[in-house]
Amino acid sequence: MSSQQQAQPLLIVGSVAFDSVETPHGRADMTLGGSASYAGIAASYFARPRVVGIVGEDFADHHMRKLSDHGVDVRGIERAQGKTFHWKGRYHENMKDRDTLETSLNVFQHFHPSIPDAYRDTPYVLLGNIDPQLQLSVLDQAQGARFVAMDTMNFWINTAREPLLDVVKRIDLLFINDEEAMQLADERSVVGAAEKLLRMGPKFVVVKRGEHGAVLFGPQLTLFVPAMMLANVVDPTGAGDTFAGGFLGQLSRTGALDRSALASALTWGTVMASFTVEAFSVDGICGLSAEAIAERRKTLVEMVRY
């Protein structure tokens, strides 16, 4: 967690957005969000993330600085005419289900990710939860990629299943939540779904289960990490992206892919996600001390030491 200097670069492609979120605990309007923002900041504690995304003219410098102050390389964030992608949603009392009140793609509608030449040799790549066609385009450009992870969601399973499966074939690790795993694999159990998804291409499948933790499936390998036990969840937005960013950050830091490296990545990803949900926007993961992060990981590991 301390030696970003040795870390391999990590390329993150995803959305940079403004979120307006209402939860039973309060609300936040037009705050920094998007999969690449959460993943980038989370990864910055472990690695040197390079973010590729698009923002509009309304994306103020202080938003960009939230990323760059964390050591996120923002040279790949294109600024286009028009407004930044805006998502507006409201969480139910259970803090899990949510209604989307508004999705204004704005400049994101015309996003054609162009990987800067200087980024094309990046060994670790995280394809955030975006249109599978764009994920494919990134794969074609990222010629130096040695390890590619992707995230996706039910929207793409429903509307772009074929290109999504094309991406799945070409990646090393798939992040997906439990219901979506069963939907994509057409299976009734998480285990059955994971086994089927592993046969579709990726070496590893990480099934995200929200407050119930995450499971990594691989060749002769099943690893489980519980979520942190939190008394005050303020806003779950971005938890999955943060988890993926922390996971890939840690993986690129160590450069290894063995059981120990994967297990470690699972725990650091979980710890970062636990900070995200305790505040709105990216506030929970901005400016954390190494000690605070390490302390929380210790609590996590202690919970499952028998």
Spatial neighbors of 258 by CB under 8 A, at least 6 apart, are: none
Q: Is 138 exposed, middle or buried (0-12, 13-18, 19+ CB in 10 A)?
A: buried
Tokens 């710890």 locate to: 271
**Min. distance of Cβ 225 from a copy of itself in angstroms?**
7
Spatial neighbors of 189 by CB under 8 A, at least 6 apart, are: 182
Is there binding between residue 154 and a copy of itself (CB under 8 A)?
A: no
Of 40-48, 159-167, 208-216, 287-295, the window that binds a copy of itself (rule: CB under 8 A) is 208-216
At position 179, the amino acid (one-letter code) is: E
Could you say which DSSP state residue 81 is in?
A: S
Q: Which of 71, 116, 213, 255 binds a copy of itself (CB under 8 A)?
A: 213
**Min. distance of Cβ 284 from a copy of itself in angstroms?**
16
Residues of span 255-284 touching a copy of itself by CB under 8 A:
260, 263-264, 266-267
Q: Is 29 exposed, middle or buried (0-12, 13-18, 19+ CB in 10 A)?
A: exposed
Q: Are 141 and 121 in contact (CB under 8 A)?
A: no
Residues of span 2-31 touching a copy of itself by CB under 8 A:
24
Is there binding between residue 209 and a copy of itself (CB under 8 A)?
A: yes
How many residues of this chain interact with a copy of itself, rule: CB under 8 A? 34
Q: Which of 189, 292, 294, 295 binds a copy of itself (CB under 8 A)?
A: 189
The number of residues making up the chain comes to: 306
Residues that bind a copy of itself (CB under 8 A): 24, 93, 188-192, 195, 209, 212-213, 215, 222-226, 229-233, 260, 263-264, 266-267, 299, 301-306
